[in-house]
């Protein structure tokens, strides 16, 4: 049963991480997440001005979207695999841990890419 719990925790973690990326993308796109000291893609370049903040988040939006959707998909696959294993009576579905592992790796790679893209756009927007 402990492996089922680990899979459930991984699915919840993927959903939370993806939800944060999705929120940042959506909130900056509609203008409700202004430059701040708490949340967003925060680097020296992205926080240097309001113009840099807006440009950097606009440039990173496709990467944030891919991050969110990848995490949602991996979380859904984790839940589906866990339910299927439970219904089939698989006592130790440890092999399913590869799904959230790959999902977290994808989310990490995409959020890092979003940060790099945002930083470059922030530098270009505010060439001070």
Determine the distance from the C-alpha atom of residue 53 to the mean position of all C-alpha atoms in its chain, rounded to a whole number: 19
The answer to whether residues 72 and 11 touch, using CB atoms and an 8 Å cutoff, is: no
pLDDT at residue 128 above 70?
no
Bigger pLDDT: 3 vs 40: 40
Is the pLDDT at 1 greater than 70? The verdict is no
Judge contact between 10 and 79, C-beta under 8 A.
no
User: Token pair of 28, please?
Assistant: 């900056």
pLDDT of residue 3: 85
pTM of the model: 0.90
> Shortest CA distance to 36 belongs to which of 46, 21, 26?
46
What confidence score (pLDDT) does residue 31 get? 86
The predicted-structure confidence for 62-121, as pLDDT tens digits, reads as follows: 999 999 999 999 999 999 999 999 999 988 888 899 999 999 999 999 999 999 999 999
For the chain, give percent helix, strand, coil, nearest 5.
75, 0, 25
Is the Cβ–Cβ distance between 103 and 74 less than 8 Å? yes
Does the pLDDT at position 126 exceed 90? no
Tokens read off for 47: 């926080």
């Amino acid at each position: 049963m402990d492996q089922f719990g680990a899979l459930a925790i991984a699915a919840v973690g993927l959903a939370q991480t993806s939800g944060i990326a999705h929120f940042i993308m959506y909130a900056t796109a509609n203008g409700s997440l202004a430059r701040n000291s708490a949340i967003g893609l925060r680097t020296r370049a992205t926080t240097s001005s309001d113009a840099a903040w807006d440009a950097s988040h606009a440039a990173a939006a496709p990467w944030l979207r891919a991050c969110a959707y990848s995490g949602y998909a991996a979380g859904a696959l984790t839940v589906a695999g866990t339910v299927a294993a439970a219904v089939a009576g698989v006592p130790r579905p440890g092999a399913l841990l590869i799904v959230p592992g790959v999902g977290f790796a994808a989310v990490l790679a995409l959020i890092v890419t979003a940060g790099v893209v945002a930083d470059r756009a922030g530098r270009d927007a505010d060439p001070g």
